[in-house]
Amino acid sequence: MLNPSMKAAIKYGLALILAMFCSMWLGWSKTSWSMLTVTVLATLEIYGYWAQKSRNRLYGTVLGTAVAFLLIGLFAQERVMFIASITAFLWICVYYQSHRTLGYMFNIAITVCLIVSSSISAESASVINTAILRMQQTMLGIVVFSFVYKFVWPTSTDEAYIDEAQAGMKELQELSIELKKEALDVERVSDLAGKLKKHADNVKTLLSLPVEYSDFLSHHRERVVALVAAIDNASKIASQLCSDKNQKISRLDMEVFDELVEEVRSFVESRGSVQLHHINKGSLSSLSRMSLPREKRLYFANIAACVTVSAFMLWIYMPVPNGVLFPTLAGVLAANVLTIPGKAVKYIMLFYAITASFLLLQYVFVMPELTEAWQILLLYFCNAVLLWRLCDYLKLSPLKALAGNILVNIPASAVGLVPSYDVQGPLNMILLLFMSLLLIEFYAKVFSIKA
């Protein structure tokens, strides 16, 4: 019996090679764009999440293309104004990336804008062709991903409610044990209360997602809302109890807390079929639109703007290889600075170096020997499954998207309409990426933010 991690790895591998095959069969260049779409969506196992992300990816592609055309039309001959305008748009997109619903749309908008704008050095037809191709490949990736994930071991949003409730129940039971001890461990109680709050926020997010037709949600939505209220109220009680080290736990507080624990336990064991009672749903607070406070949003946006401007200056005044690729790549990475904190850059660089080296060896010694389409498809499938499982095994799930990007981008020329195996391209890509990450680390240290 396959475990959930292996099932997810197989689904990702199937969607990846199917997107590659369809793109090559249709005769489209830039096969990697549809594969990257699959890679990004594959990190989301729940229907509601990837339905929302697919929609936002389309909206972002349209917005980014429109802004790129506008900037090229207005400032094609004005270098300073062009760089200033695209940096301003990047600042806005990074600032709003923490929006809980539309954040990914802003991320894709600036990514597409940078890629399309980089075609300004070629003739105008190239800009239009790049925009159209990007839209085509994005649509293909979404369609292929949706097909595979809908029919191969599908994971519905409904199952996520129960899973989140089970996780919340475990935290509640541990918290109940801690609160009944004679000596209250304030740090432990505070940590568990924080985890409970996170579970409540996760269920609130699930309730806001688009869902497929669901008997469970249509019949039990009120109970799911009551479940969130129960977990939310329990976390508030725990937070209040540990706010003052000298505060004693009253009998009434423990009675209310035990009642909440029992409510959640009943919900989990009955899989939502038991009505929850005595829950004050009026105290249930909704999630804020932004997942980060204003100070952190300004912090990340300022870093991204400085990295982008610096990359443009280095490209203009220094002999950086691969032309406009450097500021484009640096801008794309800067747009994802929220997920690349300065302290983690060195570890991300190490992970990238090891994974890229592994794929480069295949690119040089294995891929040139493959003469049939099924052989390259099989190799990509095996690599996709291996990298996905490796991230799960090493508990590096946040790096799955990065591993997928490396798999798609490093040997990208091997799956072109006319395959080529020039190792200079991938090596330059690695060099430019390291330069971009160093810029991010530098500006993360220059700017300061309160912990």
CA 413 to chain centre: 25
132-146, 254-268, 365-379 — most confident range: 365-379
In a domain, 13, yes or no: yes
71, 210: one domain: no
CA torsion sign for 70, 71, 75, 81 is: positive
Residue 126 belongs to a domain: yes
pLDDT digits (tens, 9 = 90+) for 95-138: 998 887 788 889 888 888 888 887 665 555 566 777 788 788 88
30: left (phi over 0), alpha (psi -120 to 50) or beta: left
| 82, two tokens | 């062009």
Last residue of a domain, one of 235, 250, 283: 283
Span 85-100, average pLDDT: 90
In a shared domain, residues 143 and 164: no
Asked, for residue 451, whether it belongs to a domain, the answer is no
Same domain, 124 and 222: no
Nearest Cα to Cα of residue 212 among 155, 272, 163, 140 = 155
In a domain, 429, yes or no: yes
Is residue 86 within 8 Å of residue 117, measured between CB atoms? yes
Together in a domain, 162 and 145: no
- Residues 15 and 144 both lie in one domain: yes
Q: Is the pLDDT of residue 3 over 60?
A: yes
Average pLDDT in the 294-316 region?
90
Confidence of residue 281 (pLDDT cuts 50, 70, 90): very low
d(CA 205, CA 203): 5
Mean pLDDT of 392-403: 80
Closest-CA residue to 411 (of 12, 20, 77): 20
Considering the domain architecture, whether residues 223 and 307 belong to the same structural domain is answered as no
Residue 188 shares a structural domain with residue 131: no
pLDDT of 396 over the 90 cut: no
Query: Which of these three, 227, 260, 283, is where a domain ends?
Result: 283
126-150 as b/e, with b when 16 or more CB fall inside 10 Å?
ebeebbeebbbbbbbbbbbbbebbe
The reply to whether 209 and 341 lie within a common domain is no
Same domain, 42 and 86: yes
pLDDT at 339 (0 to 100): 62
Please write the tens of the pLDDT for every residue from 24-59.
899 888 888 888 888 877 776 555 555 666 778 788
Q: Are residues 105 and 203 in the same domain?
A: no
Poorest-pLDDT segment among 68-82, 284-298, 322-336, 419-433: 284-298
Name the pLDDT band for 424 (thresholds 50, 70, 90): confident
**Do 186 and 119 belong together in one domain?**
no
Question: What would the two tokens of residue 343 be?
Answer: 């302290």
pLDDT: which is higher, 450 or 444: 444
From 253, 283, 313, the end of a domain falls on 283
Q: What is the CATH number of the domain that holds 267?
A: 1.20.120
Q: Containing domain of residue 196, as a range? A: 157-283
Residues 137 and 28 in one domain: yes
pTM for the whole structure = 0.70
Give me the number of domains the chain comprises: 2
